[in-house]
Chains A and B, each alone.
Chain A
Amino acid sequence: MSLDKETIVEKMTALLGKDNVVTDEQVLKESSVDRFRRFEELHGVFTQPIPAAVVYVHSTEEVKAVLNFARENNINIVPRTGHSATEGGLETAVENSIVVDGSGMNKIISIDPYNMLATCQCGASLQELEDKLREDGYTTGHSPQSKPLAQMGGLVATRSIGQFSTLYGGIEDMVVGLEAVFPNGKVTRIKNVPRRAAGPDIRHVIIGNEGALCYITEVTVKIFKFTPENNVLLGYTLDNMKTGFEILREIMVNGYRPSVARLYDPADGSLHFSHFAAGKCVLILMAEGPKPLADATGKAMEEIVSKYGGCKKVEPKYIQVWFDNLNWDVGKVAEEREEIMATKNIGNTTEVAGTWDIINDIYEVCVERISSEIPDITLIGGHSSHSYLNGTNMYFVYYYNVVNCRPEEEIAKYHLPIKKIIVEETIRAGGSMCHHHGVGKHRTHWIEDEYGSSYYILETLKEAFDPQGIMNRGTILPGR
């Protein structure tokens, strides 16, 4: 790095004003990590290089000015909005990085119900946008578990997905237009049109870039009519995941589009459903939309499930009550931290995707290997929560007791060996190692295997848009 911390802080203060440049030591330490390293963080151990400053930007012009400064002086930039990342995307891999926080760019710029569009700045909270839309009978259709925490820039940057994705899609299906600033200072706007065939879809250079190519400043997403009164909620218990995957497949290949299609194995289910489904798998389906469509979808799904032996219907109220408590707000995050500190038991997740023919094998082999190979494991299970015509995802959930190791050894002793099993088994079977949390900094090791010969395209994007490598070093691609 060419500049020292003091000079960086001085220049940032000149650009953004004193109030928008934070150098408090504790804030800097906490800004060097995300949820991936929360065990270390909880113990006050920070192993990553500490950033020079966290700067708060309030306009596209300010983002541009910061990026220009960073490029001219070869300083690593870590874009940030809601700070809910789970895969190390917010880790500052380089000494004296600048964390560029866009949470102050939190305006909902416009809601256009005629064209069914909502436009907001990158720091707009999804919860706030969704609440505002619902007051008027609309929804984004996006409902990740982190809805109370996450903001639009980060949600787009990670290719996030929500609980109603089987109908509304992932964020990539929702984004219509965007504004982003590239590290050369170029501000790019992609206009809002229903579709176009004017070359490749360049939105996808920006969506999912994890702050490694550009800084997202504005997002326009689709909106949908919100008609919860039409929802048809179905819940079943069943004996095994294989049957559950078969049911999901049959629903999808026959052209039905439930908004929710979730299948829990008994271990993961024990965290949620032990009061009515102990030791069982749980299948949850929801149809929504205009009443005739929701009713017909609900009925058809019931018929499909009824063909499979061993599926027992559950009163929908059980599912509804659970669903209403599913999201994570700051209170839940704080509670979890307290529990981890007291029990030294920590839970993490890894999410993968595969076609119908491989997904059950991936599930079985990973559960089997993790339970037999990883020490001190207290739970390994998972669920499928997003289904497609061609396959589904598997969201592995695992907890372990951290025993006989220092906080900074937790990741190497437990989390990475578990991730390694899941990622390697998934890639070996032909699936994708990342379904919706992004690559972050801890799956870059396998990124070439993930892409195969198409890695050329990814690498070229990075070289073209960020030739100096100042954008979120070590994210998506291994750091140079």
Chain B
Amino acid sequence: MNILVCFKVVPDLDLMPGGDWNVDSRLRVETGYVKNIINPYDESALEIALQFADKADDDQCSPGLTALTIGDSKANLHLKTLRALSFDRAVRIDSKEDLRFRPETCAALISAYINKIGKNNVVIMGRQSGVGDNAQTPLICAEMMGWPCITQVSSIEPAAGACLRVTNLVDDGTCRQTIEPPCILAIGNAPNSYLRVPTLKDIKAHGQKPVEVIDAAVLMATGGQPALPGGCELLGIEAIDRRRSGIIIEGETAAEKTQALYYSYLKGWLAGI
């Protein structure tokens, strides 16, 4: 099994000061001052792939693992960490384009990589990223590859016959199914999927191994099918006001406060739902 895990490096928007949400003339928000992180859904994808590899290792059929990102050199640190975590390959498709709202371009680059270089048969990625919030890349990628795509995946385990046992959330519950690759798995909310941390020994042994850098334009020119037409045109951006207010409930005793909470707030609210 040859697994490709795709991830995006994004600014940690939780750290953005409220007053800094200013949109410039190119409809961009300056986020360079905050730390970069791996998009949380992609972080889950990477950890789930490692957990899968751990389990497959026990069954003595360890998969090849490649981590791939599209972007500029700020992703290199993360790629090195992934190398230290025993990803066999760490690849960056070098692109300086604004891909925030271009899932079709991301999907085209990923497909080109798979077809031309990676020859992977399982692709795992987060369902969406906080920047752009498109939630389309895995689906478009599946369409371009002609592969099935399972969304809202929360765990993947090895199954007999080089198959995968995939658990995902569906409308009315949880679905567990056995899948024969090729396939694309879009990770949703997955418990226990913070990315593990490499030891200093791991970093010394593997973290210095090279990161492969591929030029996006060259990749597309030589191996890509053209991107599907974009589904949306960006017209404007505005910050969502997430400020909350609170009320301090007064009362002499816990019982009095509970009464006040119930009669003044909860009762009406409960009646309304």
Contact = CB atoms under 8 A, between A and B. Distances in A.
Interface of A: 19, 272-275, 278, 315, 317-318, 321-322, 324-325, 338-339, 341-343, 345, 371, 376-380, 399-401
A215 B166 CA distance: 58
A377 B200 contact: yes
A275 B194 contact: no
B32 interface: yes
20 contacts: A19-B254, A274-B35, A275-B34, A275-B36, A275-B74, A315-B33, A318-B33, A321-B15, A321-B33, A322-B15, A325-B15, A338-B194, A341-B192, A342-B193, A343-B196, A343-B197, A378-B198, A378-B199, A379-B197, A401-B196
A345 B33 contact: no
B230 interface: no
B253 A19 contact: yes
A273 to B, nearest CB: 8
**B contact patch SS:** loop
B29 to A, nearest CB: 13
A86 to B, nearest CB: 21
A439 B194 CA distance: 33
Nearest to A347: B197
A325 B197 CA distance: 23
A379 B32 contact: no
A318 B199 CA distance: 28
Nearest to A377: B200
Nearest to B33: A321
Interface string B127-141: 000000000000000
Interface of B: 15-17, 20, 32-36, 74, 77, 192-200, 253-254
A300 B261 CA distance: 57
A324 B19 CA distance: 12
A470 to B, nearest CB: 31
Nearest to B192: A342
A341 to B, nearest CB: 8
Contact of A343 (B16, B17, B34, B195): B195
Given A321-B34, A324-B17, A274 B77 contact: yes
A272 B35 contact: yes
A307 to B, nearest CB: 28
A345 B199 CA distance: 10
Contact of A345 (B15, B20, B197): B197
Contacts of A19: 253-254
A318 B32 CA distance: 8
Nearest to A341: B192
Contacts of B35: 272-275, 322
A445 to B, nearest CB: 27
Contacts of A342: 192-194
Closest 8 CB pairs of A and B: A342-B194, A345-B197, A321-B33, A378-B197, A342-B192, A325-B15, A343-B194, A275-B35
Q: Quick one: which of B77, B193, B253, B254 has the most chain A CB within 10 A?
A: B77
A380 B200 contact: yes
Contacts of B34: 275, 321
A277 to B, nearest CB: 11
Nearest to B204: A371
A401 B199 contact: yes
A376 B199 contact: yes
B17 A321 contact: yes
A317 B77 contact: no
Contacts of B17: 321, 324
